Structure 1
Amino acid sequence: MKTFLLEMLAAQSTFLQQPPASPLRRSVLLQLTKTIPPPVLAHYLRLVEHGHVGVAVVRHGVCSGCHLRLPSGQTAVLVKSDELHLCENCGSYLLLPPEEDVPVARRPVAAAVRRRNVPEVVPI
């Protein structure tokens, strides 16, 4: 499935920069129809024709299509699974680049408590 996303990501700049009737755009579309399933391609083309990003790269847990942070669970699923996932906000297909590491949530370190020097009270 990631090969589908990489192909669509490579074609995305052509779709966003070329006019709808250009021969280059038609040839790229013909190549995509040979390899990508029709429902996936239809959703992708619907987004691109409206000027939106069809495939968004996830960097540091943030969707590059809508620039909103993804839930940490969804980012973890992107690392482990080979399925297609959509951004809940913008509807773009999410692609996690291979070099992207998922940030591990660290437990906060408790601040050291400093005791005050209080003189001892001596009973009378």
Structure 2
Amino acid sequence: MTSVIEQSVQARMVASAPRMETLPATLSYDVKDPFAVRMAFPAPATLEGTEVSWEFSRELLTAGIDTPAGEGDVRIRPFGYERTVLEFHAAEGIAMVHVRTAELRRFLERAQELVPVGDEYRHLDLDRDLTDLLGGSC
């Protein structure tokens, strides 16, 4: 059984211009970090010319599909029936992308099959995490 799932999605960057640019992005979920999801944008899609990725909770993504969620660096909210807006807040500014809600739901279903919500704790390696936290002194 695989411990990581990845799914390519097409994101549309919201800009002041009327036309939104389509960006490739990859959503990933790793059993080793069962509470988090990751969204990565390849180097050509970023201002810096390097891959940029954001990690946020699976719970935030799940909630944000149906109702506005998030107060920090990542905020998610529905946009009409077919799209979801993900806002990424950084010192350089705010990036807003639209993603088809069906793609996000499909990704979350796959993550649910891998680690059901509520069973995340079963996949934590607390001994390893504590050793890492204490600098290998356990």
Q: TM-score, normalised by structure 2?
A: 0.31
Greater Rg over alpha carbons, structure: 1
Which one scores higher on RCO, CA 8 angstroms, separation ≥ 6? 1
Structure holding more helix per residue: 1
Structure holding more strand per residue: 2
